[in-house]
Structure 1
Amino acid sequence: MSQPTLYTMLPAGPLSKCVLIPLYLLLLSSAAAAQQATSDSLQSLLRSHEKKDTARANLLNQVSRSYFTKDAVTAARYADEALHISDSLHYTKGKIWALRNLALVENTKGHLDQQMQLTLNALQLAEATGDPYTLGVLNNDVGNIFTELNSPRDALAYLKISLAIKLKRNEKTEIAKTLNNIGSAYISLKMYDSAMYFLQRAEKIKLALNDQKGLAFTYENMGIVALVQEHYEDALRYHRMSATYYKEAANLPGVVKASLNLAEVQIMLGNLKDADKNLDTAKALNDKLGNFKNEMIYYKIRYELDSARNDYVAAFDHYKEFSKRNIDFFNQEKGRQISRSEERYESEKKQRENILLKKEQHMHLATIQQQRVLVLSAAALFLALLLITVMVYRLYKRQQELYLELNNKNREVSMQNRIILEQNATLENLNQVKDKIFSVISHDLRSPLAILEGLLFLLKDEKIDAGQFRMYTDELWRDVKNTAYMMDNMLQWASNQMKGIGVKPDDFDVTLLLSREFDLLHTLARQKEVKLSHELNQSIFVYADPDMIRLVLRNLINNAIKFTPSGGEVMITAQQHNETAEITVKDNGTGIPLENQHRIFSNIYYSTTGTQNEKGCGLGLHLSKDFVERNQGQIWFNSMPGSGSSFSFTLPLSDDQDLNPRGYTVVVQDHPLGGVSLLRR
């Protein structure tokens, strides 16, 4: 085992976390001093050259490049000034390198989409200039971004273009960088032998050049391959060398990655104390950088460390933090995929439109050409009056036929355009349904399932006993029940959007319908210590679709329970008017904010968490309004923030109210094993 570094020897506790960064910065002092000397020299030149010309733009880009690994904000400020000056002077080279520096700043923050857009803009300008060095660097950058975006095959296409350019110019340092990045792409493709081949080629060149800054990246990748192949001692050696070179280069983003990699290997080797210190280092530095992906990886490794220590409560908390960030990362990836699909669709749509325009243009040109031929023919035959008369008549008839044909073609093109617009509208509606379903599944349904999976994993591996597991059962049961309700609402809404739901009205007793749903809803209310009761003590026969009204009642009562705190009350009442029955669900909960009340029954899907962080998908009230109105009823609400809400709806009464009349009295009895009984008298 090699000698521990200074920050790994600190004792655990608050004091160590307080002094961690200053001591760590002492380790970087020599590298930081060297880089600071370079930065100071460049800034001195910058202060002596205040004229806003191409020379100042070049100096600004050099200063920005020297800062991006240690102070992203300062690097961005210099790059912005360089871009402004270069743009005003139409200085293409300055714009290219300013855009690249801004892209590198976005990389330190983990904003890969912004980095990709800036790099592609720079590459477009470079292709116009044809400078091979710049093209080699920027193609390498694009390939590296694709690897980080989990698109390694796209990455290899750009990286191989970059490698060919650099080999032709025999640029050893740049060749080594691209070989290293090709190795990264093969790691993403899980082709580890190919990855090691390119990484070893990069290592050989960098050792010959004594490129310690570049070796940090290569040894990091070699450590990743060794870890995957379970060669833990080799992985530890590579990651320690990578960490050493990152520190010497004062590369803070690199140090964060190296600390996370070391912690993961040390957990595998059972060196939990050093793993804890490295995780503290990574957390402290990444708080400054704000890299979202590194934060997600930190919570994953922290969860593994807690599990290895048998601290399962802390492991569960850190797993929830990792799961939440993993879901957000998944949503970002899904958004990028949807955006690429939309761009592809728009491109194909424009191509179809261009084809139609070209066809129409060819038709117009053909018509004009034919008219010219006919006019010239008429001029040639003008010598004979009779012949002229016949030719004019034939020309007129021909023109009429051409105009008729042209009008027919125009009508066909218009009809095709109308069909395309209708198909686009249909596809847009289907995309909205798909996006809503994916959004609910990825965010609202995956979260409780991920927490349940984490608990079951701990229980299965006997890392948590049954007593600890029971502490979470009530919360899990409520989350799963809410998830089931959300799934029911989502399926009803999706069916309604995509193919429609037919109304099947019938005479039924709404009191009996409520009684059948009351047991489960009362269990949900009792878990929140909310009193749930109703005053429907006699039969009320209505003419409507019972399945739709069951969903309406369930959504309104579940919403009332959701936004009523412990000790509150939810009451269901009913009144009969001349031709309608009016049913009201009233609570004394949190109420609806005045600024959001206009969104309740609109097409804007409005959803907030309940008093105990219960989630919803924003479809319940929208479906309830649709189903009530389909059954010839009306729905409305009254709400005061802090005082509760009441939702009411009407249904048409059955023509024969004497159908099998009964009286109902609801008696709620607690069973010894839990639950309630509803007795009808």
Structure 2
Amino acid sequence: MEKLVWSVIFIFCVLFSFKTEAQIASIDSLEVELKLAKEDTARLRIYVDLIELYDKLSPSEKAMQRVLEGLDLAKRTGNEFAQAKLMQFRGQIYNELYRSDYDGALSFLAQSIQLHRKLSKANPGNFAQQREIVSVLNSTGYIYWQWGKLVTSLFYYDSTIRLGNKLRLIDSTDFRTNRLLGIALNSKGAVLWGLGNYSEAIESYIEASAYFEQLGMTKFLSLAMSNIGLIYESWGQKEDALFYFKRAVSLAREAEDQSATGYALNNMGSFMRSAAQYDSALYYFQLSLEEYAEDNIGGIWLNLNGFGKTYAKMKAYDKSLDYFFKALLLAEETNSDYRRALAKESISATMADKGDYKNALQYANESNAIAEKYGYKEIIKDNYLNISRMYSLQNNYQKAYETYQRYSEVKDSLFSDEKFRQITFMKEQFEAEKKESENELLRRDSLLRDQDLQRARLEQYGLIILLIAMLTFGGYFVVTNRKIKGINKVLTGKNLEITRQKEELALQAEALRKSNEIKNLMFSIVSHDLRGPIVNLGGLVGLISNESISKEEFQKLLPTVLTNIGSLTALTDNLLYWARSQMEGIKAVPQKFDIKEHLGPKMQLYERAALEKGIICIDNLEPATMVYADPYMVELVVRNLISNAIKFCNAGDTITTSSKEANGFVEVTVEDTGQGIPPEYMERIFNDIQFTTLGTKNEKGVGLGLMMSKHFVEVIGGRIWVESIFKKGSSFHFTIPVS
């Protein structure tokens, strides 16, 4: 897994400019100016310029001393703008000096934001003031990112981009604003990558690279090219990845920037490792390490991890573990949760390869505890795969299968993120079809209006001619009057036809809208809810085909497999039957049948699922109760109601199915003692196609079953309703005609 690089990309973008002699001389020159300056205003300006250089080039104890001196002077002179700016530098320099105390650094940045916003409120039109807020938000996002708190980091980067875009509306040519936007977009891409959202990540990288290219920021452009290459590599597009990696190396060397060059070379090493060219990989990692300065923790950590992974591929496990433990030590020193989780995952995988399953399992669980806390999906996925493999090697096949299912679920989630743009494109195609159809309706409506207007004009001309004719040929009044009545009758008929066509077009437009809503829902269900169970079953087949479990162990897992297949079958039946009913106008095929005799065997299919949750099912259907309806529709309704009851019951609850005959109908009731329905949901459960909630064990639904049940009950001539007391249980009732 190469996504570990997110935690250092922004370090390169902001903090590690190469220290030239000329830049150091600038610091010395400002130090001299500071000693000579007498006026407070001049001294404060020099403090701000000097500390900005220290922040970029030499975040040291001396730099912190100058910050405190500058802040003292700013407070004495009442210059709140300088206070806010210096407080930002204090947070950034503090972060570099005390890398594990993120709270301390963030507290200084929070004070800076508070001061800047106070000044901005007093002077809302001050462009420079707003830009300073963008800068502090960007720095805050970086520190949360370095800490491993990705979701919070993403919030601050989004805030940076949102405010920066507002400033671009005022002045799109401002270099500092555009630079900050490019950096924030590049960093946002890295954070999205860390969260497993690859599609949005690459969009952020591409947008960032456009800014860097426009501004001539070659070093930054190199970083963006590396990041794009990493995503292409994760998608398996090796040629595209190699193109971007080579371009990144070329740009970094053109910029003569050591940190960017080190980063690009490290990515080349990772690429060579994935291509099984291990000697070349080690060569590139060594070149990368030589480019990084001794205080560049991120760069050093990247290469320690790179060496460790490469030696693991070469089966030199002791060497591999040596590098991984060094990487873990560095992660502990810098208090980076992401690096800590990733190092432990790597140690676990290597120990498992070595046969040390006990310690491997311990490190995997420790890694997962951190990864699940912060949402590091890629690490969670790899840990579950490692744990499943270890359980299998220890002949604990039940746990191996359960863990493999979790791995499949996380992998499926990442798959959905990666395929986001493909699904969106398919939806956009349907939206385009919808728009085109709507446009056609509008064109036809416009044509009808033109025809109507033309007829109105003809009528006017006709009336004028008739009036002249009446004045000229009074003797023909009676005949002319009859002709006018005839014309009016024809026009009235045509107007009625136009009105009918308009109403028909409106009905077609509404039908088209509903059809597109159904299509979009089908995409959602097929792309996730239907695919997930299939992936889980595929995982089990994979374990069998790889001979990770024996036939005997498979027999033990068979009940779980059958339950999964039953759930998948029920979902598929619902999906296909609902789609058919909506798109073809399904019709009932009624016949006489005994409801107890027909439904009894079908209800037994759900007993296993109920027993697994500790739920008791009771069949109180009256025997010899004849009804006249479509038996398959009735069966689908009952199956959905029982399945829904199981979903919202806990261990010890009961589900009772009963029936009674009255007034020419049989009333079927599915009653449970589960958690009931909140009052605010009662109106939605039969009417909202996308309404669904999690079950008592986080079971998912697709919001289709109850709405489909209502539709089928109405098709067979019955009605359906629900009675529920929240946290006490629910009773679903529906009626079936007797004849």
Partner secondary structure for residue 637 of structure 1: strand
* Residue 275 (structure 2) pairs with residue 191 (structure 1): yes
Q: 1:248 to 1:207 in 2, by over 3 A?
A: farther
Partner of 1:484: 569
For the residues of structure 2 that align with 1:74 and 1:105, how far apart are their CA atoms? 22
Instruction: Give, in angstroms, the shift of residue 596 of structure 1.
Output: 1.8
1:84 aligns with one of 133, 158, 182: 133
Q: Tell me, in whole angstroms, the C-alpha distance in 2 between the residues paired with 1:531 and 1:102.
A: 51
Which whole-Å CA distance do the structure 1 matches of 2:428 and 2:253 have between them?
35
Distance 2:222 2:133 in 1: 25
For 2:292 and 2:671, the matched residues in 1 are separated by 77
Q: Distance in 2 between matches of 1:428 and 1:537?
A: 42
| Whole-angstrom CA distance in 2 between matches of 1:530 and 1:288 | 36
Secondary structure class of the residue paired with 1:646: strand
| TM-superposition CA deviations, 1:397-452 (whole Å, max 9, x none) | xxxxxxxxxxxxxxxxxxxxxx99999986664333122222222345655x3786
Q: Which residue of 2 aligns with 1:431?
A: 520
Offset at residue 541 of structure 1 (A):
4.1
Deviation at 1:570, TM superposition (A): 0.8
The percent identity for this pair of structures is: 25
Distance 1:152 1:556 in 2: 49
Q: For 1:599, what is the secondary structure of its paired residue? A: coil
Distance in 1 separating the partners of 2:702 and 2:265 = 47
- 2:682 is paired with a residue whose SS is helix
SS at match of 2:661: strand
The residue number in structure 2 matching 1:536 is: 622
Q: 1:347 to 1:257 in 2, by over 3 A?
A: farther
CA distance in 1, matches of 2:356, 2:608: 48
After superposition, the Cα gap between the structure-2 partners of 1:179 and 1:186, relative to the gap in structure 1 and judged at 3 Å, is same
1:486 touches 1:616 (CA, 8 Å); kept in 2?
Answer: no
Amino acid at match of 2:704: L
Alignment partner, residue 662 of structure 1: none
Alignment check: 8 A CA contact 2:368 2:380 kept: yes
Contact 2:262–2:292 (8 Å) recurs in 1: no
Q: Give the counterpart letter for 2:383 in structure 1.
A: Y
Shift of 1:168: 2.8
Instruction: Say if 2:100 and 2:334, in contact at 8 Å, map to a contact too.
Output: no
In the alignment, the residues of structure 2 paired with residue 75 and residue 103 of structure 1 have an alpha-carbon distance, to the nearest angstrom, of 23
C-alpha separation between the residues in 1 aligned to 2:594 and 2:551?
A: 51
Deviation at 1:230, TM superposition (A): 4.5
The within-5 A match list for 1:564-579 is 566=652, 568-578=654-664
- Return the structure number with greater helix share: 2
- The structural deviation recorded for 1:558 is 4.1
Decide which of 542, 549, 570 is 1:461's aligned counterpart: 549
Q: Name the counterpart of 2:630.
A: 545
Partner of 2:531 in structure 1? 442
Q: Aligned-pair distance for 1:601?
A: 0.8
Is 2:688–2:707's contact at 8 Å kept on the other side of the alignment? yes
Q: Is the 8 A contact 2:282 2:310 kept in 1?
A: no
Q: In the aligned structure 1, how far is the partner of 2:206 from the partner of 2:529? A: 33
Letter in 2 for 1:125: Y
Q: Distance in 2 between matches of 1:537 and 1:345?
A: 49
| Structure 2 partner of 1:672 | none
Question: Does 1:167 pair with 2:253?
Answer: yes
Match of 1:629 among 714, 729, 734: 714
What is the CA–CA distance in structure 1 between the aligned matches of 2:673 and 2:329, rounded to whole Å? Answer: 62
How far apart, CA to CA, are the structure 1 residues paired with 2:237 and 2:679? Answer: 46
**Alpha-carbon separation, structure 2, partners of 1:61 and 1:100:** 22
Q: Which runs of 5+ in 2 are unaligned?
A: 1-55, 75-79, 114-130, 136-163, 439-507
Map Cα deviations across residues 583-622 of structure 1 (whole Å, 9 max, x no partner).
Answer: 3334444432222222221133444555676654432222
Matched, 1:139 2:250: no
Superposition pairs for residues 325-474 of structure 1, below 5 Å?
A: 325-335=410-420, 337-339=422-424, 429-443=518-532, 446=535, 449=537, 461=549, 470=556
CA distance in 2, matches of 1:337, 1:433: 15
Unaligned runs of 5+ in 1: 1-34, 354-418, 655-681
2:265 is the counterpart of 1:182: no
CA deviations over 1:234-282 (Å, ceiling 9, x no partner): 6445545655666777765334323322221122122446545644664
Distance 1:324 1:42, change over 3 A: farther
Write the letter of the residue equivalent to 1:644.
Answer: G
In the superposition, relative to structure 1, how do residues 592 and 149 fare at CA in structure 2: closer, same or farther (>3 Å)?
A: same
Q: Does 1:206 align with 2:289?
A: yes
Q: Normalized against structure 1, the TM-score is what? A: 0.64
Q: CA deviation at 1:130?
A: 2.0
Structure 1 residue identity aligned to 2:287: K
Distance verdict in 2 for CA 1:637–1:146, change over 3 Å: same
**1:28 aligned residue:** none
Is residue 69–residue 251 contact of structure 1 (8 Å, CA) maintained in 2? no
Report if aligned partners of 1:72, 1:105 keep a CA contact under 8 Å in 2: no
CA distance in 2, matches of 1:197, 1:326: 30
Corresponding residue pairs, total: 546
Partner of 1:260: 345
Query: SS at the partner of 1:598?
Result: coil
Normalising by structure 2, what TM-score?
0.60
Cα pair distance change 1:652/1:568, threshold 3 Å: closer
Give the alignment's Cα RMSD to 1 decimal.
5.0
Contact 1:61 1:101 in 2 (8 A): no
Q: Residues 53-132 of structure 1 correspond to what in structure 2 (within 5 A)?
A: 59=89, 63=93, 66=96, 70=100, 78=109, 84=133, 86=135, 90=174, 91-92=176-177, 93-97=179-183, 100=186, 119-132=205-218
Kindly state the Cα deviation for residue 125 of structure 1 after the two structures are TM-superposed: 3.1
